[in-house]
Amino acid sequence: MLLFAASLLAAPMALAQEPPQTPQVRAPAISTVEAREGEIATTATVTGTLVAREEVIVGVDVEGFKIVEVLAEVGDTVKAGQVLARLDAATIDILLAQNTSQLARAEAGIAQARASIAQAEAAKLEADSALERAQSLTGSGVTAQQTLDQRIAAASSAEAQLNSARQGLELAIADKALVEAQRREIDLNMTKTEIKAPTDGLVLSRSARIGAVASPSAEPLFRLAEEGDVELSADVTETSLASLSTGMVVHVTPAGFSQPVEGEVRLISPQIDAASRLGEMRVSLEANPALRPGAFARGVVEVASSNGVIIPLSALVVIDGEATVQAVVDGRIETRTVTTGLRTADRVEVLTGLEAGDVIVRRAGSFVRDGDAVTAVAQAESGDQ
């Protein structure tokens, strides 16, 4: 019993003599990402309206004719030469019948003038022969001077009648030419009663109504989008215009579309509206029958693109123009100065200072300093985008 009691008393004394253990401090956890090789593009967003690339006006060239038939409707695709509407040709039919009669009369007048010439030529020939005989007989004293004078007068009269007949033929030919010119005008007006599409295209609007009187000064009967080509007319701020150029790729999403339509910048207006401070940009689009002129659309222009080392923008710190990131090397923070290239709203390209695969602090300024020990907790870069 004494030995047992002594052992119990000795145990606490042995424990009291052991040195206390220092608790191990774990390095703070911090979210990190890897710098990755990838593509980055800077963009500019524009908004506007879908319009016809070239709008074709279809009207009439004749005055006062009623529309009797309309053969095209809005949204129709038409071919060059296709009849879109017809005008009442009854008046022209009457003019055509009158002209036909006038032409027959002119041709009869020419035939009559030629017959008159033939008669006048025969009469002149006879008068000339009589004059020659009288002149030969007068010299021998057989024919009196009075008879010779009569023959001279008859020959002169015959020549005058021949000249008159020839002038009559010229007048008849001129009359026929006038009638033929009138016929050509009537035929031309007849063709104008058929309103045809001047080019392949898409019918955007029509004002043609059956019974309405067509006039060159009235509203055009039809408006077409030439070849059916539709493009985006976008408003661009004056600050964005300087970074844009023709040929740039544009992803256009019209109202109601779930997927964008590819296009490219075709035209940039050289002029800026003084009131709105906006300029116009035209974007040609891939052919798509669902594109409707007048619809609202939004476009994203690829201003510049590059392949390089990409990191989240949140990992970058810029102080006094110097850009830095906090890399994690062997469990400790290492601050690195970097040079940057393209940047978007959530990503930035690193030109120097980092390599693909380097681990960096996801969010800069996370209360750690150069040389601090940390426990890296990897996060996918996509979570920052």
Does the domain at 29-40+307-384 match CATH 1.10.150.120? Answer given as no
The burial class, CB within 10 Å (0-12 / 13-18 / 19+), for 1 is exposed
- Predicted structure pTM score: 0.60
Query: How far, in whole angstroms, is CA 96 from its chain's centroid?
Result: 43
Q: Kindly give, in sequence order, each residue whose CB lies less than 8 Å from that of residue 261, ignoring residues fewer than 6 positions away.
A: 251, 252, 253, 254, 285, 286, 288, 291
**Answer CATH for 56-87+194-224 from 1.25.40.10, 3.40.30.10, 2.40.50.100, 3.30.465.10:** 2.40.50.100
Note the CATH architecture for domain 44-53+227-305: Beta Barrel (2.40)
**Residue 332 is which amino acid?**
R
What is the pLDDT tens value at each position of the chain, 385 positions in all?
444 444 544 445 544 455 555 555 678 888 999 999 999 988 888 999 999 999 999 999 888 899 999 999 998 999 999 999 999 988 888 988 998 999 999 889 888 888 888 887 887 777 777 767 767 766 555 556 667 677 778 777 778 888 888 888 889 899 889 999 999 988 988 888 999 999 999 999 999 999 999 999 889 999 999 988 999 999 998 888 888 999 999 999 999 999 999 999 999 998 899 999 999 999 999 888 889 899 999 999 988 889 999 999 999 999 888 999 999 999 999 999 999 999 888 999 999 999 999 999 999 876 888 888 888 888 876 544 4
